[in-house]
Amino acid sequence: MGKKGFLGLALAALLPLTAFFIFRYFGDKVQIMPRHYYIDSTRSHVEDGKIITDTVWHKVANITLVNQLGQTVSLDSIRSVNDTVRNKILVANFFFTRCPSICPKLTANMHKLQESFKKSPDYVQFLSFSVDSERDSVPVLKKYADKFNIDHSNWWLLTGSKKTIYDFALNEVKLGLQDGEGVDSNFIHTPKFVLMDRNRVIRGYYNGLDSTDMLRLLDDVVFLNMEIEKQKPKRKWF
């Protein structure tokens, strides 16, 4: 992403402010939210004599790994400091530190996203899963993180059992189902960024090498953060 792309990323952060007020007061009439992915099941109940069918969306399972600081962490442990919103929005990708091709660019673009939310770090968590855990030890991940000036507070570079990470990527994040790409189950190497909402429901896949997709991801993170506003009573100004 060049200077123009970075400028576009910065400017795009201002656009959702307008969308916020549109959604805040006309949310039911404006379709701006990222779609949901993968139905686990449906269930029905009777309400006022009518059968109502509810969709149960696939919730990404918890996973426990070790981050670049040597801390054992899990998705369940990701919490906002804000008591009213305990879970964070998640942005994840898969990489390895020895990658000479797409990974440095993916990490650089993830860092630009992190910088975009520098003033609001409490509602988004960035996750980079190593697909080469045998080589990507904690010290290696820490050195890589420092190389890219990563803020450790809301971005974890994660390592652990290869089987655990690969099962998570294929069966929970479902990378192999995207765009018919057929991600290799023996070595996952993908430019995809994955967006999950506060309930760990997948809400989007993005090409981490494409500036347009990165702008869309930035907007979608902001929109998901506003999703809770729909449940709040409207503020009275008089």
- Show pLDDT as tens, one digit a residue, over the chain (238 residues): 555 554 455 544 544 544 444 444 444 444 478 988 877 666 766 677 777 777 778 899 999 999 999 999 999 999 876 644 568 999 999 999 999 999 999 999 999 999 999 888 788 999 999 999 999 999 999 999 999 999 999 999 999 999 999 999 999 999 877 655 557 777 888 999 999 999 999 999 999 999 999 999 999 999 998 876 554 444 443 3
pLDDT of residue 87: 85
Whether 78 and 125 have beta carbons less than 8 Å apart is answered as yes
The pTM is what? 0.80
- Whether 234 maps to a domain, the answer reads no
Q: How far, in Å, CA of 108 to CA of 189, rounded?
A: 17
- Whether 237 maps to a domain, the answer reads no
pLDDT of residue 203: 96
Q: How far, in Å, CA of 14 to CA of 69, rounded?
A: 33
CATH number of the domain at 159, please.
3.40.30.10
- Whether 135 maps to a domain, the answer reads yes
Provide the token pair at 92. Answer: 């994840």
Whether 195 and 217 have beta carbons less than 8 Å apart is answered as yes
Domain of 173, in residue numbers: 3-227
- Which residue carries 């990470």 as its tokens? 165
Provide the token pair at 2. Answer: 């060049």
Q: How far, in Å, CA of 71 to CA of 152, rounded?
A: 11
Q: How many domains does the chain have?
A: 1
pLDDT of residue 23: 47
- Whether 182 maps to a domain, the answer reads yes
Provide the token pair at 22. Answer: 């549109």
The Cα angle at residue 98 between residues 207 and 213, in degrees rounded to 5: 10
Query: 3-class SS at 57?
Result: strand
- Whether 162 maps to a domain, the answer reads yes
- Whether 235 maps to a domain, the answer reads no
- Whether 14 maps to a domain, the answer reads yes
- Whether 173 maps to a domain, the answer reads yes
